[in-house]
Structure 1
Amino acid sequence: MVVAAGAAVAVRAGFLPLGASCRDDAVRLDVAAAPSVTPALKDAADHVRDRDITSDGHCMDIRVAAREPYEVADEIRRDSAKATYDVWVPDSQVWVQRAGIGGNQARVSPAGNVASSPIGVGMLESAARELGWPRKTYTWSRLAGVPAREDAPRLGAADPARSASGLLALTRLGASARASGAEDADTRAAATAKALASRTSDSDSGLLDTLARDSSGAERGSPRRNEALILSEQASFTHNASADEEHELDLFYPKDGSPALDYPYTLIRENDLSTDESRAALRFMAFFGERAGLRILAEHGLRTRDGARPSAELVTAAGGRTPQPYAREPDEAPSDKDVQEALGMWTITVQSARLITVVDASDSMRRLVPGRGESRMDVTKAALLQALAGFTDDDEIGLWEFAARLDGARDHRELVPTGRLGDRKGDGTQRDRLTKAFGALRPVPGGATGLYDTTLAAYEKAHEGYAPGRFNTLVLLTDGVNQDPGSISRSGLISRLRALADPEKPFPIIAIAVGPDADEREADQIARATGGSGHEVDDPAQIHSVILKAIVQAGARQ
């Protein structure tokens, strides 16, 4: 009786098969999954169907389709109501974060994680041996060639805007460069991103196609072929499973820590799911903690979600060997701020930027920032200098300042004409001139905020100088509302900006309202007239991060 009662409970909980009869009222679930985890999920769905594993007595009809996570994230961000799937399993939490950036409130409910896979650098055997693999270990920045070395293997990566492996590695590369303690760490990180940008692929699968086909002959010397790739352990495992010995990858696990793909399991529009659908979705996720589910994950080169030490068989098949630190716990997932900064740096690095910075120099900028003992202007200057370090010599940047009647009857003055940062003129470069000009910014005693006329004049001039192939934007920083009664009206300004905006030549304004006196709603209205966005910061030190976040948002809309 005890055994029978236990079996009945197990059946109701969905842990034992009931036979073909349960299929008459099977619960259907549609799952969109990252391509790297789709084969494992399909095998799991087949196992669940073939064994008649149930949820609350109902069979589960689970249909899995491969979808690129960046596409799904953008789709959900625009309108989650149009989603045709019940469950989404991207390869990283970063896509769940991205699904909630701007736009409509995303209706995504994280329920857990199904697997994990650390990210490393896979190399052809000849390149790996030259670098001392497996006994010699490297930091991320050294593996990526920072500082650059002539003997560094050509390193390829998937586009960080489309690949979690590429994005997480880019984030870690920046952290590694900063951890080196070098004063020019941010510039070095940007230089690394620039070098990677010339060797990126649209997808993780496309990246593997860039490997030199002859690891010891002429193809290894081909500039179009990569000798090393940033990729996940699972991707290296899958590649090695079908590659001959000459083309297998050896895998470096950087000693300063590897980020990991974490395969979050999320429910889409959970409130719209029936009770049976919701419970079936959770039952399917629970399967990956059972023996059969764990076996399927291992067969596809995926580590389990419980953080257990990886099996030697999996690591060896992926190209790992001791003493590479493959058993080290993966790094914690990067923060939203870290991801936004990495993506923003990538956007301006890949496209190169043409950016005009317009800074409020009104008297209110001399007010102290609470808790810092510095004025708004001092902290703003420091944030601008920090942002400047993230741009490359190919980027074009100019500087304006504004306050009512600053230059005769005009509210604005161009301090540094827009130019390429690496261009030299006289004793210094454009970067040197901007650094000096940022440092010399001072609030104008008694100066009011001449916001509207300045915005229109700066946008008109910036728009005239539109540079095709670059990320064009105007960054407007103000700590107050318009105080020039003789200027154009707000409605007049917005009307003129809309008339100037050209979808064929996107030139968004990034408007940043600094401090409690600024009007974020007004800043957003002005920016959105050009396809840009408005933001509010309590502390000017946040300006750098906000600029990069806004660049990501604007880039996603173009």
Structure 2
Amino acid sequence: MLVPLAGAVALAVLLGVAAFVIFNRDHDCSGGKLALRVVATPDIQPALNKIAGNYNKALHSIDSKCVEVTVAKEAAARTANALAAGKVSADFWVADSSLLMESMRAAAGGDAGGAALPQVEGSIATSPVVLAAAKSAASKLSGSLQPSWVSMISAANVANVDGPGRKVRVLALDPQKNSAGLAALLAAAGTAKAAKQDKALVGALKELSGQLAPDSTALLASLTVKPGSRVPVGVTSEQAIYAHNTKKPESPVVALYPKEGTLSLDYPVTILTKDPQVLKAAADFKQALTAESAKKVLRDAGFRGTDGKAGDALSEDKGFTPETPAALDPPDGATVARMVQTWTRLNLGTRLLTLLDVSGTMALPVPGTNMTRMQAINRIATEGLALFPAGSEMGLWSFSTHMDGRGKDWKELVSVGPLSESINGATRKEQLVRTFAQLQAKATGDTGLNDTIKAAYTELTRTFQEDKVNTLLILTDGAGNDDPDGGVKNAELLQFLKKTYNPKRPLTILLIAFGPDAKKGKAQMEAVAKATGGEAYIAENILQVRDFFLQGMERRLCMPNCDG
């Protein structure tokens, strides 16, 4: 009996030694530690930190060194800026959206310039971008806003004074600082274009630019504030809502899924290191992120899988729809770059001088209303002020004939300057509103348009500001120049504008003409506007002027090359 027993003991020892050798070969830390520095966006960093902890405990060995993963959190935009400047210190980056890399490649010059940027190496999780409302307020939305991008645009459109914005206040994230904000911008722009709602989109973006939250945490916290007459609705990622609700706020937030479909954050992996050993460690950790145990950690944190499937964290009783939401087609890099530029140009500072016709015909009634032309245009112009933030610089001249001494056809009513600046105890914006309300047509006045344009264009050229979109806006009910004293001739004005206009310092003219005589002067008015890269609009109905304000805002996106 002793011989077989001894043999068994010897076999067990041999097997134990073999197992020890195999274990130590795969977990050999004799060479010390190999650091892998991971940087991730704040939303996914806690889950990755947990996965990294489990990974480190398993003693993954590369060239006799045990990999030690650390996960720091940093906003994707900040990491992207550091990467573009060549100052990134991390080895492994988990951003929140591939859209950010597309934007960076486009900014670097497309395929050629973007080739120097590291390639994205797959995704580890997803989270759809959704609308969000406090659970206590969501029931109030059914009659005023259906969950869709088009409805959100309508509610946010500052020019839609009778729309759902009377009952709903839309909050957004800055597309230049937040990937969920960028995804929302792209989703809204794509559906607006498909629905032919481009003008409404411009009005919405102008409104949203003044109601931006710095991050999802601040946005969701603002939704829980007891609403007044308007219900606050935000746009953020589904996972951000889950994370918010885990803190057990007084009023939980529910996700509302746009009916047209949506874009998702896809949490791409980008390996940044060039060190051969660290590259091996990065590849090994990337592989570990695909393990079922890692996927479960991510699902438990409110993320979906790369296939869009949800875990138990995103259940209906917690305010979510577990089914995979419909997906919009992802935009290409050029589209991403174009929309980022759109947002940037829409939010450039504004320097605008309005020339308002006060000739005798402005006292005529507008058919179908109880207003005169002057009253109608003043009301619309006052509404138009809402399109511009307080830092915008604006001013107002009136024009007819003999306005400020014989031979002078214009009069400065409010000097150009910041809307928030105080003038005689009131802000410039308040002065403009008051002036518009008090303006009267000059009963015997004609339309000294050409002299006024030349004087105004000369003044704005002299005071041009590089960091703003400089514009001369003209509102007239005539067919162009009608000055019995002669003054500047049509050909002379065009020659002046073509000579004075500088595409490197673009001062554009937007001319809006209304009234039955407007079409007669269409050719000359279009020539005047085009000479400065601008546009002339002929309104068949004075109430169309509101739409033309928005079309004028759209022109800001392409100036000075709108027709190139």
- Residue 205 (structure 2) aligns with: 193
Deviation at 1:284, TM superposition (A): 1.2
Distance 1:254 1:127 in 2: 18
**2:258 aligned residue:** 254
Per-residue Cα deviation, 1:444-489 (whole angstroms, up to 9, x for no partner)? 9xxxxxxxx97995657869xxxxxxxxxxxxxxxxxxxxxxxxxx
Corresponding residue number in structure 2 for 1:102: 108
In 2, Cα distance between equivalents of 1:63 and 1:50: 13
Deviation at 1:312, TM superposition (A): 5.1
| 1:39 aligned residue (42, 46, 62) | 46
Distance 2:470 2:228 in 1: 33
Partner of 2:320: 320
Give me the whole-angstrom Cα distance separating, in 2, the residues matched to 1:258 and 1:89: 22
In the TM superposition, residue 47 of structure 1 has moved relative to its aligned partner by 0.8
Q: Kindly tell me: are residues 143 and 54 of structure 1, through their superposed partners in 2, closer, same or farther at Cα, counting changes over 3 Å? A: farther
Q: 1:221 to 1:41 in 2, by over 3 A?
A: same
Residue 327 of structure 1 deviates from its aligned partner by: 1.6
Deviations 1:429-456 (A, max 9, x none): 99xxxxxxxxxxxxx9xxxxxxxx9799
User: What does residue range 114-263 of structure 1 map to in structure 2 within 5 Å?
Assistant: 114-132=124-142, 138-144=147-153, 145=155, 148-181=163-196, 185-214=197-226, 220-221=227-228, 227-244=232-249, 246-263=250-267
Question: Do 1:301 and 1:318's aligned partners in 2 also have CA atoms closer than 8 Å?
Answer: no
C-alpha change, 1:313 and 1:458, in structure 2 (3 Å) is closer
- 1:130, distance to aligned residue in structure 2 (A): 1.7
Deviations 1:215-270 (A, max 9, x none): xxxxx1188xx7221110110010011124x41111101010111001110012x5
SS of residue matched to 2:271 = strand
Contact residue 39 and residue 90 of structure 2 kept, 8 A:
yes
Compared with structure 1, are the counterparts of its residues 22 and 242 closer, same or farther at alpha carbon in structure 2 (3 Å cutoff)? same
Native 8 Å contact 2:471 2:507 kept in 1: no
CA RMSD of aligned residues (A): 4.6
Taking a change above 3 Å as real, the CA distance of residues 119 and 355 of structure 1, as seen in their structure-2 partners, is same
**Partner in structure 2 of residue 52 of structure 1:** 59
Report the Cα offset of residue 119 of structure 1.
0.5
Q: Determine if contact 1:17/1:54 at 8 Å carries over to the other structure.
A: no
Give the TM-score normalised by the residue count of structure 2.
0.57
| Matching residue's letter, 1:319 | G
Residue 348 of structure 2 corresponds to 351
- Separation in 2 of the partners of 1:199 and 1:60? 45
For 1:295-310, list aligned pairs within 5 A: 295-305=296-306, 307-310=307-310
CA offset digits 1:346-395 (Å, max 9, x no partner): 22333344599xxxxxxxxxxxxxxxxxxxxxxxxxxxxxxxxxxx9659
The corresponding residue for 1:502 is: none
Separation in structure 2 between the aligned mates of residue 549 and residue 92 of structure 1, nearest angstrom: 32
**For residues 269 and 142 of structure 2, what CA distance do their matches in structure 1 show?**
38
The aligned counterpart of 2:33 is 26
1:501-521 deviations in whole A, cap 9, x for unaligned?
xxxxxxxxxx9xxxxxxxxxx
In structure 1, distance between residues paired with 2:559 and 2:303: 33
* 116-125 vs 55-64, which moves further: 55-64
Q: Summarize the Cα distance change of 1:314–1:321 in structure 2 as closer, same or farther, 3 Å threshold.
A: closer
Distance 2:142 2:51 in 1: 39
Task: Give the Cα–Cα distance (whole angstroms) in 2 for the partners of residues 114 and 308 of structure 1.
Answer: 11
Provide the rounded CA distance (Å) in 2 between the counterparts of 1:294 and 1:277.
Answer: 23
Alpha carbons 1:138, 1:255 under 8 Å: kept = yes
Q: Please list the CA deviations of residues 275-318 of structure 1 after superposition, one character each: whole Å capped at 9, or x if unmatched.
A: x211211221222221111111012111112x153235424376
Structure 2 CA distance, aligned partners of 1:34 and 1:199?
Answer: 23
CA distance in 2: counterparts of 1:291 and 1:108, whole angstroms: 27
CA change 1:286–1:188 in 2 (3 A) is same
Identity of aligned residues (%): 23
Deviations 1:491-543 (A, max 9, x none): xxxxxxxxxxxxxxxxxxxx9xxxxxxxxxxxxxxxxxxxxxxxxxxxxxxx9
Partner of residue 282, structure 1: 283
Distance (Å, rounded) in 2 between the aligned partners of 1:56 and 1:91: 31
The residue that corresponds to 1:490 in the other structure is none
| 1:487 alignment counterpart | none
Deviations 1:138-197 (A, max 9, x none): 32121341663145422211111101111110111111222223xxx2221111111211
CA contact (8 A) 2:28 2:61 kept: no
Change (3 A) 1:142 1:61: same
1:340–1:107 CA distance, 2 compared to 1 (3 A):
closer
Whether 1:427 aligns to 2:485 is: no
Query: Which residue pairs with 1:64 in the alignment?
Result: 71
Q: Write out aligned runs for 1:325-344 (5 A).
A: 326-344=323-341
Q: Is the 8 A contact 1:340 1:545 kept in 2?
A: no
Would you say the 8 A contact 2:40–2:72 is kept in 1? yes
For the 8 Å contact 1:396–1:420, the answer to whether it is kept is: no
Q: How does 1:332-411 map to 2 (within 5 A)?
A: 332-353=329-350, 394=388
Matched, 1:93 2:98: yes
Is the CA contact 2:136–2:251 (under 8 Å) kept in the aligned structure 1? no
1:199-229 residue CA offsets vs partner (Å, 9 max, x unmatched): 1022233323323334xxxxx1188xx7221
**Secondary structure at the counterpart of residue 119 of structure 2:** strand
Listed as ranges, the gaps of 5+ residues in structure 1 are: 215-219, 357-391, 398-412, 431-443, 445-452, 464-510, 512-542, 552-558
Distance 2:232 2:204 in 1: 17
Q: Distance in 2 between matches of 1:550 and 1:62?
A: 50
Letter in 2 for 1:427: D
Q: Count the aligned residue pairs.
A: 375
| SS of aligned partner of 1:127 | helix
The amino acid that maps onto 1:249 is V
One-letter amino acid matched to 2:103: R
What is the identity, as a one-letter code, of the residue corresponding to 1:337?
Answer: A
Question: CA 1:416 to 1:312, structure 2 compared with 1: closer, same or farther past 3 Å?
Answer: farther
Change (3 A) 1:98 1:342: closer
Query: How far apart, in 2, do the equivalents of 1:35 and 1:429 lie?
Result: 59
Q: How does 1:450-465 map to 2 (within 5 A)?
A: 459=504
> Shift of the alpha carbon at 1:319?
2.2
- Give the conservation status (yes or no) of the 8 Å contact 1:124–1:247: yes
Change beyond 3 A, Cα 1:396–1:289? same
SS of the aligned residue for 1:221 comes to: coil
Call closer, same or farther: CA 1:393–1:228 in 2, change over 3 Å.
closer
d(CA) in 2 for partners of 1:188, 1:228: 18
Does structure 2 conserve the Cα–Cα contact (< 8 Å) formed by 1:125 and 1:248? Answer: yes
Give the SS at the match of 1:227: strand
Q: 1:229 to 1:235 in 2, by over 3 A?
A: same
Structure 2, unmatched stretches of 5+, are: 1-10, 354-385, 395-452, 461-468, 481-493, 509-532, 534-553
**Aligned counterparts of 1:318 and 1:424: Cα–Cα separation in 2:** 54
Aligned to 1:273: 275
Matched residue of 1:119: which SS? strand
Task: Quote how far apart the aligned CAs of 1:22 are.
Answer: 2.4
